[in-house]
Chains A and B, each alone.
Chain A
């Protein structure tokens, strides 16, 4: 019933974070620093790599395409995950377990295997096209298109949308909808005025995770996409591993990183809540 947030714990347990911090510094901060450094230092000190990045048309096209695909994937994930997470939050314990398993089992399958499964489904002579043909429709180009990449990435990233949404929805008191009805709101209005606003923090949390993960996606666009659906990560890989140009590859990575921080910064005001979900006793 207490309305005040729990007092912050003391600083004592900070040392408990040391092992994880050590790993993060070693595998994250150090290589990142090296990459940033090399993007400015190779082949010679200066901003040459960044000038090259923004002056090369392909880079800009791919950067914008990366954004566009990530946005579409995010939208698709929200639309698919919202009703699913709602069903999970209101289901009985058995159905809920089954629904959670359906989300998690694909997680346990390697991303490469899952993507190859999509290749089988999406390719020109694949399952989807054969079904379409047998029903009298024309063949649809799915593989090596942005549509194919979007479908595949949506499936891979869906759990990252469902889980935060479910966590927020589970905390929403459905009796609030009853209260809203007693106050004169039509049941459909109670959804838009009460339920949706209360679930938005989950939508923003999931959308941010999905969007940022999608920006850096590599394997799925590589296997399902074609030249017209290359994403930035593929270009970086080419620069670094095929052309051994660490400077340019690093500069592209830094651009992607800064853009990602920009997205996080833009989203953070929406993630802050000035209210607690549970209004009172339970």
Chain B
């Protein structure tokens, strides 16, 4: 058994899976398929069910209902130590009484691999994470980032067809996180295994993943590529969790292909049809919104116009960020290319955007902001 680049990842099929703790529903009938070799992130706030799902796949928790398949095999009743799934934990979980090399050799030892093959595989795995010079150190002698690299080497040394990672970079500082993100991407490419990565950091999910499953309150809100989730969120929760956004709430009239909402005295149009019985919102990305002088009016297809007052203006180098207060007291964030004569704080401006850039979504009551 050696590391090679031809290892094939296995598909993960989650079918109608639920998990109850007494009367508490941690997971409510979720279904999801992770394709072979795919890098899939589970993204969501804490308590959304993403780690529960990971623990169910790893076998640390028992299913309450449903089925999980790894490749062709149903693994719901296979004990954790027979699943052959690599797991990387946020808390590293290195064995403190074993050296780095012994830690990485541990899974090979459990599988009865001969010593010579073991040594070779451990060397290769440590080279992959650039820690071959640390083989004889003990975990307590390593930094957090180095410890997590060892954990990564240990989880992949037995070439599992599936690798699970539970917020592996959560305990590291931002700079180190970015370095390790790139390494994880490279290792994913080289191994070809299927990766499932749990995180509450939407930027991390966007950087790493082929697809992202957004979890909320024990359910999956939407599955898609980062681009799909950003540009075509299906729920207000997803729209607000991924990227920056402004939410405009107002009464709407049921229409045809377009829906008009009355917000802060203006009538604004968004594509799509709203159900008459449910409140709806328009979700706006900062870069779709233009800030212009009051009275400029519609131009270049930007026919949605909304008046307001500049509350905050930030200079970001290539771009400027405005926070504009509307007549109804709500705020809209706009990001524009740097202007030579920016609007001063307190000045009256107009916000303008193309109706097709706004996303009409049912108001599910979720509020802005994800954990930092």
Contacts and interface: CB of A to CB of B under 8 A. Distances in A.
Given A179-B87, A184-B84, A280 B97 contact: no
Contacts of A282: 91
A182 B87 CA distance: 6
Contact of B107 (A1, A175, A183, A277): A183
A173 interface: yes
Nearest to A176: B93
Contacts, number: 98
Nearest to A179: B93
B85 A176 contact: no
A183 B105 CA distance: 10
Interface in A210-255: none
Contact of B110 (A178, A189, A278): A189
Interface of A is mostly: loop
Contact of B80 (A182, A274, A276, A277): A182
Contacts of B79: 181, 187
A182 B88 CA distance: 9
Contact of B91 (A173, A183, A274, A276): A173
Contacts of A55: none
Contacts of A182: 58-60, 80-81, 83, 85-87, 155
Contacts of A275: 96-97, 138-140
A281 B90 CA distance: 8
A173 B143 CA distance: 18
Interface centre among A179, A276, A277 (most CB of B within 10 A): A179
A281 B176 CA distance: 15
A174 to B, nearest CB: 10
Contacts of B58: 182
B144 interface: yes
Nearest to B92: A280
Contacts of B91: 173, 175, 280-282
Contacts of A1: 143-144, 171
B94 interface: yes
B171 A184 contact: no
B89 interface: yes
Interface of B: 58-60, 79-87, 89-97, 106-107, 110-111, 138-144, 147, 154-155, 158, 171
Given A179-B93, A182-B87, A185-B81, 18 more contacts: A3-B139, A3-B141, A3-B142, A173-B93, A179-B87, A181-B59, A181-B60, A182-B86, A184-B111, A185-B110, A198-B96, A276-B140, A278-B96, A279-B94, A279-B95, A280-B94, A281-B144, A282-B91
23 contacts: A3-B140, A175-B91, A176-B93, A179-B93, A179-B95, A183-B106, A183-B107, A183-B158, A184-B82, A184-B107, A185-B110, A189-B110, A276-B140, A278-B96, A279-B92, A279-B94, A279-B96, A279-B140, A280-B92, A280-B94, A280-B144, A281-B144, A281-B171
